[in-house]
Amino acid sequence: MRELPLEVRSEGEATVVRPSGEVDVSTAPVLRRELERMIADGARVLVIDLTDVTFLDSTGMAVFVGVWQKLRNESGSFALAAAQRRVAEPLRLTRLDGPLRLRGTVEEALRAE
């Protein structure tokens, strides 16, 4: 399991998480653990800033689906933002861009909350 650099900041009620690098089978468990910890600590609005994500595989997408479902069950909200084309394309092809609320920018994702 590799480390996955994460930048975390608060934007009003939202927690914005900005991972860097590849979100794949070797880093997705780290991301899942951190996002679940944030939810356990009370985060109810998460925006994942994908600006610095260079690759996303099905394991990473599964992390996002799991976190989205957990937040939905707890009356929270979840959105993805600012994905590069090669990261956004698998989300569109699997039709996860709708439920996971893929937005063009973090600001758009925050306004939608």
Cβ–Cβ under 8 Å, residues 58 and 28: no
Using CA atoms, how far residue 9 sits from 43, 54, 111, 112, in Å, is 12, 21, 16, 18
Higher pLDDT, 104 or 112: 104
Q: What is the DSSP string of 19-59?
A: E-EEESTTTHHHHHHHHHHHHHTT--EEEEE-TTEEEE-HH
Answer yes or no: is 93 within a domain.
yes
Taking the C-alpha atoms of residue 72 and residue 26, their distance in angstroms, rounded to an integer, is 26
Tokens of 69: 């479902």
CATH number of residue 63's parent domain: 3.30.750.24
| Structure confidence by residue, pLDDT tens digits, 64-106 | 999 999 999 999 999 999 999 999 999 999 999 999 999 999 9
Residue 6 confidence class, pLDDT cut points 50, 70, 90: very high
Answer yes or no: is 73 within a domain.
yes
Answer yes or no: is 113 within a domain.
no
Taking the C-alpha atoms of residue 4 and residue 2, their distance in angstroms, rounded to an integer, is 7
Nearest to 104 by CA among 55, 92, 94, 59: 92
Answer yes or no: is 1 within a domain.
no
Structural domain count, the chain: 1
Residue 113 confidence class, pLDDT cut points 50, 70, 90: low
Domain that holds residue 64: 6-108
